[in-house]
Amino acid sequence: MLAQWAALSPYALVPQHLAELRQFKGLAFDWGEQDEFKHILVTCRMLDTELSASGIAHPAEGYEGTHGSGVMGPNGRMYQKMLPFFNRLLKFE
């Protein structure tokens, strides 16, 4: 079961999906350095490494906090990071 879980982790799937990943207009992610879900920190770093090694451009960063720290509010990641990212990359006509 653990082997199946690892084989289907996002970082493990990168080599199989390079063509699709290269078609994305953008890909970004972040993680809390003190996330309660301990696997998230490790797998996000592994995904960052795999994407970089494969030449897939992507902003990725760890932030001080837990899984839900600083998401909402005027200074939260939703308003300061996510929405500006979408605004730059998505065009609706």
Q: How many CB atoms lie within 10 A of CB 32?
A: 21
Q: CA torsion sign, 16 to 52 to 2 to 24?
A: negative
Q: How many CA atoms lie within 13 A of 59 on its CB side?
A: 10
Label residue 35 by pLDDT band (50, 70, 90): very high
Provide the pLDDT confidence category of residue 9 given band limits of 50, 70 and 90: confident
Which residue type occupies 86? F
User: Mean pLDDT, to the nearest integer, of 45-65?
Assistant: 92
Mean pLDDT of the chain: 89
- pLDDT tens-digit map of 18-31: 999 999 988 999 99
